[in-house]
Structure 1
């Protein structure tokens, strides 16, 4: 593989956060007597919060007080997050290997910069990324390819020489449509048929990425 850069998603790939988000979104709905089931939540994975909130409003209509929903969701998530968010297995070794090989690395996330800084607090990983793209940097979030195109441009490396690592179908579509190679490491979602057909690989964990790059 002629790869010069690796572009990382964050939630569900580097950090074990998707489960926390799901519980908080579902709690906020149930607090208003509404049911946000697992199937509906799965459509949020890899999507910016503003779009997810639009979908919630479309589903529940006048039954939902959106501002109250956001307050409850955010409060619950911040409480859970304060107890610590774990890195997914294999990230530390993979990131170290990429740096040793001289490959550039970018973080490309649907989360806001404040969330990024909080998750990486206490480590020096964030400062080692050659580019950081967050939800504030693009108008059209994943599954649109804008974020990965922007990362490629900032790194000054052609998309075809970039390897995207994602846990979500929307993120995979964004990376593939940007012209990058893309590998899915599923978290709460398995690859959809269209993603499985186009993916460079579907791996069990981040530790398998090093072996793929060495192949």
Structure 2
């Protein structure tokens, strides 16, 4: 029986993936580079530092990472300040999970200040039983370390935990950690590998709430 939900954040709880992608591509364009949609797909669910290393390797010595970060972060922070919407179904799912006394963890590749900014003016962060951010993990998704840390800190077995992810990298991390995992795709469709490995593939978090009602 599932006793915990392990939530990714960007693209799963918040509609942030589209604005993040725009900022990364905007900065590249401003510097005379092209960050294609296809190349960006490999960044989804991965920590920023690893993505930046990929860019530096790809574009070589002409690429000024410090200048790129400045342009990208300024563009992204401006977009975040205008407000970020919750994804459909999150509020009801969170309330339903709390009502069923499930443990709730936030397991994200983002850094804590970004997490705090996204959840500003809400009381959700204080209601999670555990928060795992980029600062806590040496090896980010698609490595399974973050989800292993989550279920160990919660004192649960991996098969008691349902990972909720929007990305292939996140799904791989969850499954490699031994957890049950459901993908709710955002801007990336599941690969055939993930289709074969996923316990569930849903269109929205609304269907996760429906699953809970059936199982509880």
Q: TM-score range by the shorter chain?
A: over 0.9
Distance in 2 separating the partners of 1:193 and 1:63: 36
Q: Aligned partners of 1:213 and 1:145: how far apart in 2?
A: 24
Match of 2:63 in 1: 64
> Can you give the 5+ residue segments of structure 2 that lack an aligned partner in the other structure?
none
RMSD: 0.6
Aligned to 2:172: 173
Instruction: Trace 1:30-109 onto structure 2 (pairs within 5 A).
Output: 30-109=29-108
Equivalent residue, structure 2, for 1:201: 200
CA distance in 2, matches of 1:69, 1:210: 40
Q: Deviations over 1:151-200 (max 9, x none)?
A: 00111111110000000000000000000000000001011111110100
| Residue correspondences, number | 214
Write out aligned runs for 1:179-190 (5 A): 179-190=178-189
Once the two structures are TM-superposed, the CA of residue 3 in structure 1 deviates from its matched residue by: 0.2
Identify unmatched segments of 5+ residues in structure 1.
Answer: none
Aligned equivalents of 1:171 and 1:34: distance in 2? Answer: 28
Q: Which contiguous aligned blocks of 4+ residues in structure 1 show a shift greater than 4 angstroms?
A: none
Q: Which residue in 2 is equivalent to 1:147? A: 146
| Deviation readout 1:6-46 (Å, 9 max, x if unpaired) | 00000000000000110100011111110001111111000
Structure 2 equivalent of residue 113 of structure 1: 112
Within the alignment, does 1:11 sit opposite 2:19 as a pair?
A: no
Aligned equivalents of 2:2 and 2:101: distance in 1? 11
**CA offset at residue 62 of structure 1?**
1.7
In the other structure, the counterpart of 1:20 is 19
Give the whole-Å Cα distance in 2 for the aligned partners of 1:161 and 1:122. 31
Secondary structure class of the residue paired with 1:51: helix
CA displacement at 1:49 relative to structure 2: 0.1
Structure 2: distance between partners of 1:121 and 1:33? 35
TM-score, length basis structure 2: 0.98
Separation (CA, whole Å) in 2 of partners of 1:139 and 1:119? 23
1:214 Cα deviation (Å)? Answer: 2.9
Report how far residue 63 of structure 1 moved.
2.3
Say if 2:191 is the partner of 1:192: yes
Instruction: Out of 204-213 and 101-110, give the one that drifted further.
Output: 204-213
